[in-house]
């Protein structure tokens, strides 16, 4: 896995601004949001929200606009191995959508410590996409591996920043998304887009015992707080509520 991991790290370091989506499944709502110019969901749907004072966000500054979206999940091999046949209507895209390029990167061997390693585990698929009729082409990298592996062994181990983290509906199978708050300062995250399932203190702080055992580097004390943006609402709809925008700030502020 060493050489292939080095190849992946070299690829990631080509990009300026990363948005990371753990346990994404086949959802591309983060690309939909940013490529639309950060429009709330009802605006992307071409609707209005009477009685709700929502102000569309200003355009993302060029240096803060994601040019790489990284999605990780244990499954969804068939969906993303489909290449140019990836079904846009099943991915949460609400406008024009075009796959310009598709390729497979070298596979990471046995990346899962908590879950099982299957024949397809460790495969990485790269997509070059055009969304919302934008002239800017977005890159999506989908890696079939544990979220914990990707953060611990790729982002943290190689000092790769993720300006944005997007997470919705992380119900928790064997682990829970609250451990993300432990590392946001280390991966230099500025904003987190999430629902209550990944906010510390919002679900009784379930113990991530398997993370503690297999990835102790992810269980450092929380040094940040998540401050909700009250001006930007209805970013995305999930089974457990709305994905909202949070600023990542030092815990002492």
Q: Which residue has the tokens 């181990």?
A: 157
Pair 85, 182: CB distance under 8 Å: no
Q: What is the DSSP letter of 49?
A: -
91 — pLDDT class (breaks 50, 70, 90):
confident
Cα–Cα distance, 79 to 150 (Å, whole number): 20
Cα–Cα distance, 167 to 145 (Å, whole number): 16
- Which pLDDT score, from 0 to 100, does residue 176 have? 84
Cα–Cα distance, 146 to 119 (Å, whole number): 14
Cβ density class 191-200: b for 16+ within 10 Å, e for less = bbbbbebbbb
H or E segment and range at residue 68: strand 68-73
- Which pLDDT score, from 0 to 100, does residue 129 have? 94
Mean pLDDT of 141-163: 97
Does the pLDDT at position 50 exceed 70? no
242 — pLDDT class (breaks 50, 70, 90):
confident
Least-confidence region, from 74-88, 96-110, 175-189, 205-219: 74-88
Mean pLDDT of 7-20: 96
Task: List, in sequence order, every residue forming a beta bridge with 99; answer none if it has no partner.
Answer: 129
Task: List, in sequence order, every residue forming a beta bridge with 22; answer none if it has no partner.
Answer: 72
Mean pLDDT of 198-219: 86
Question: What percent of the chain shows pLDDT beyond 70?
Answer: 89
Average pLDDT score over the chain: 88
Q: What is the DSSP letter of 189?
A: -
- Which pLDDT score, from 0 to 100, does residue 51 have? 47
Q: What is the DSSP letter of 20?
A: E
């Amino acid at each position: 896995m060493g050489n292939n991991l080095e190849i992946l790290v070299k690829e990631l370091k080509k990009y300026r601004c990363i948005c990371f989506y753990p346990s994404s499944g086949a959802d591309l709502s983060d690309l939909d949001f940013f490529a639309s110019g950060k429009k709330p969901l009802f605006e992307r749907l071409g609707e209005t929200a009477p009685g709700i004072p929502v102000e569309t966000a200003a355009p993302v500054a060029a240096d803060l606009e994601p040019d790489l979206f990284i999605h990780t999940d244990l499954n969804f091999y068939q969906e993303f191995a489909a290449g140019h046949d990836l079904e846009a209507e099943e991915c949460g895209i609400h406008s024009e959508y075009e796959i310009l390029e598709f390729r497979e990167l070298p596979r990471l061997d046995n990346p899962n410590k908590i879950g099982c390693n299957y024949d397809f585990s460790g495969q990485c698929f790269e997509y070059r996409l055009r969304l919302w009729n934008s002239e800017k082409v977005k890159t999506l990298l989908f890696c079939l591996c544990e979220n914990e592996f990707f953060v611990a062994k790729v982002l943290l181990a190689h000092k790769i920043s993720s300006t944005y983290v997007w997470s919705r509906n992380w119900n928790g199978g064997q682990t829970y998304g609250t451990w993300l708050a432990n590392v946001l300062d280390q991966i230099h995250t500025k904003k987190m887009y999430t629902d209550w399932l990944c906010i510390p203190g919002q679900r009784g702080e379930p113990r991530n015992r398997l993370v503690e055992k297999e990835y102790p580097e992810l269980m450092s004390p929380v040094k940040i707080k998540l401050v909700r943006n009250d001006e930007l609402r209805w970013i995305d709809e999930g089974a457990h509520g709305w994905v909202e925008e949070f600023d990542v700030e030092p815990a002492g502020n």
